[in-house]
């Protein structure tokens, strides 16, 4: 039976068994993309590749054997597994299980979309679908390049936040789907074709040598890359061999290199520090859109239901529409999300007759939803507040 070191952290987070969720349309039973990068708070990120026919999921971390999982029956969402591992998810949320242990993860970036490049005022930004950005900034005759993580963050309204090395934090808002507007009002227009910005970068990260080649975990992105042979790779391997206390040790190194075909090409080896370490990365939250949010609290109280499936739920799409359930009736409607906050238009519901307790809970939920003016998203928890700042709804991203 396979035992990957990557999954050792699962032993720290026990999972409670959950009843199978109710059936949903087949369109919601697919992973968010064919290639998905998952962030796992408290654990290690991993990538998953899903076959076009939907029958196979391949989980991988560079330098470790891939794990292939076959499609499994699922009441809703998607499920892949074998006798030891299991990956279950709904939308961008997923639960990875191994040997009865599990961790919650969520897809980052915009899986399934091509890279996007925005340009303006001497600044060129390329956003990759796995949540990584590369940036080029020109000022007169000088040019700097940078890279790091990008994410949509929700704190009142929605923002596009880039965290890199040259400038620790840049904030934009998306306008009309084809612009990024900076805090100072300057605009970047979306280019017709993506520019991957394959310049040389000064890179810091953790390096170790393996039987199949060197592995480099870059600090600003948190991604692990295989090192391309040639260039300064022999110098890096030699320095690691002389300094390493064990064959499994990862040591902090600095190089000048570039990205090529999914690898890092080391052009120049700068330094190795035995006691060096990467700074911690900012935690990644669930995505506001394309996530099923299930109610935990209404006006500060935890509603009690005879069946947990009766808890109200919401899902926001990318086109300003939302859908869900009040616990008794299905509901649909429109929402507005901008720098000023989040507002739900009056929802249309089906007209099923509800038991008195469910009818009362439905009314409280709809009243709270109509009063929402702002959203705060942290981890897998979404708080919706009214104009006075009172929290009307607390919801949790559902991964299974």
Question: Are 145 and 123 a contacting pair, CB within 8 Å?
Answer: no
pLDDT: which is higher, 74 or 374: 374
Report the pLDDT averaged over residues 182-209.
Answer: 95
Whole-number pLDDT of residue 247 = 83
pLDDT tens string 321-343: 999 999 999 999 999 998 789 99
Distance CA 17, CA 308 (A): 13
Q: Please determine, looking at this structure, whether the domain spanning 116-190 carries the CATH number 2.60.40.
A: no
Query: Which residues on neighbouring strands pair with residue 85, listed in sequence order?
Result: 98
* pLDDT-derived band at 400, boundaries 50, 70, 90: low
One CATH from 1.10.150, 2.60.40, 2.40.50, 3.30.460 for 201-273? 2.40.50
With tokens 């990068």, the residue in question is 37
CATH T-level fold of 293-397: Lipocalin (2.40.128)
> Given phi > 0 = left and psi -120 to 50 = alpha, else beta, which region is 120?
left
Alpha helices by DSSP H, listed for the chain, are 233-243, 356-371
- Is residue 19 predicted with pLDDT exceeding 50? no
Report the pLDDT averaged over residues 364-391.
Answer: 96
Minimum mean pLDDT among 3-7, 19-23, 268-272, 351-355: which range? 19-23
pLDDT tens string 41-73: 877 789 999 999 989 999 987 667 889 999 998
- Is residue 35 predicted with pLDDT exceeding 90? yes
Report the pLDDT averaged over residues 75-82.
Answer: 89
Distance CA 336, CA 358 (A): 28
DSSP H or E stretch at residue 192:
none
pLDDT tens string 293-325: 999 999 999 988 877 778 999 999 988 999 999
Distance CA 67, CA 353 (A): 48
Q: How far is CA 62 from the centre of its chain?
A: 19
| CATH fold match for the domains 116-190 and 293-397 | yes
Distance CA 67, CA 2 (A): 9
pLDDT tens string 202-248: 999 999 998 888 999 999 999 989 999 999 999 999 999 999 888 88
DSSP secondary structure, 150-163, as one string: EEEEEEEEEEEEEE
Whole-number pLDDT of residue 151 = 93
Distance CA 258, CA 310 (A): 52
Q: What is the mean pLDDT of the chain?
A: 88
Cβ burial, residue 9 (10 Å; 0-12/13-18/19+): middle
Long-range contacts of 43-46 (CB under 8 A, 24+ apart): 43/9, 43/10, 43/13, 43/103, 43/105, 44/6, 44/9, 45/105, 45/108, 45/222, 45/223, 46/6, 46/96, 46/105
pLDDT: which is higher, 197 or 15: 197
Whole-number pLDDT of residue 186 = 94
Whole-number pLDDT of residue 45 = 85
Of all residues in the chain, the percent with pLDDT exceeding 90 is 68
Residue spans of the domains in the chain: they are 5-107, 116-190, 201-273, 293-397
Whole-number pLDDT of residue 206 = 96
Q: Residue 22 gets which letter from DSSP?
A: P
Question: Are 189 and 173 a contacting pair, CB within 8 Å?
Answer: no
One CATH from 1.20.58, 3.30.1540, 2.40.128, 1.10.10 for 5-107? 2.40.128
pLDDT: which is higher, 26 or 121: 121
Whole-number pLDDT of residue 162 = 97
């Amino acid at each position: 039976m396979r035992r990957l070191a990557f999954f050792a952290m699962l032993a720290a987070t026990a999972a409670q068994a959950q009843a199978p969720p109710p059936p949903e349309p087949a369109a919601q039973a697919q992973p968010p993309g064919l290639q998905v990068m998952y962030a796992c708070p408290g654990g290690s990120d991993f990538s998953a590749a899903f076959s076009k026919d939907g029958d196979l999921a391949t989980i991988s971390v560079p330098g470790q054997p891939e794990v292939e999982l076959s499609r499994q029956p699922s009441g809703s969402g998607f499920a892949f597994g074998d006798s030891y591992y299991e990956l279950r998810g709904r939308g961008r949320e997923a639960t990875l299980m191994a040997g009865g242990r599990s961790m919650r993860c969520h897809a980052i970036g915009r899986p399934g979309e091509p890279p996007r490049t925005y340009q303006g005022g001497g600044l060129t930004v390329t956003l990759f679908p796995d949540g990584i950005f590369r940036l080029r900034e020109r000022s007169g005759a000088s040019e700097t390049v940078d890279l790091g993580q990008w994410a949509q963050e929700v704190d009142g309204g929605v923002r596009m936040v880039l965290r890199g090395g040259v400038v620790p934090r840049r904030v934009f808002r998306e306008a009309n789907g084809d612009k990024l507007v900076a805090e100072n009002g300057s605009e970047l227009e979306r280019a017709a074709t993506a520019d991957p910005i394959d310049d040389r970068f000064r890179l810091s990260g953790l390096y170790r040598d393996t039987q199949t080649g060197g592995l480099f975990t870059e600090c600003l992105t948190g991604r692990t890359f295989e090192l391309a042979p040639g260039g300064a790779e022999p110098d890096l391997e030699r320095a690691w061999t002389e300094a390493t206390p064990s064959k499994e040790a990862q040591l902090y190194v600095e190089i000048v290199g570039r990205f090529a075909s999914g690898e890092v090409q080391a052009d120049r080896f700068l330094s190795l520090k035995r006691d060096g370490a990467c700074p911690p990365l900012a935690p990644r939250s669930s995505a506001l859109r394309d996530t099923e949010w299930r109610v935990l609290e209404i006006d500060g109280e935890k509603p009690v239901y005879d069946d947990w499936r009766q808890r109200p739920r919401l899902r926001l799409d990318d086109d300003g529409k939302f859908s869900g359930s009040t616990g008794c009736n299905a509901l649909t409607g429109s929402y507005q999300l901008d720098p000023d906050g989040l507002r739900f238009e009056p929802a249309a519901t089906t007209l099923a007759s509800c038991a008195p307790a469910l009818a009362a809970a439905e009314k409280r939920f709809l009243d709270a939803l109509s009063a929402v003016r702002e959203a705060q998203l942290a981890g897998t928890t979404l708080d919706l507040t009214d104009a006075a700042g009172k929290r009307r709804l607390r919801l949790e991203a559902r991964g299974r």
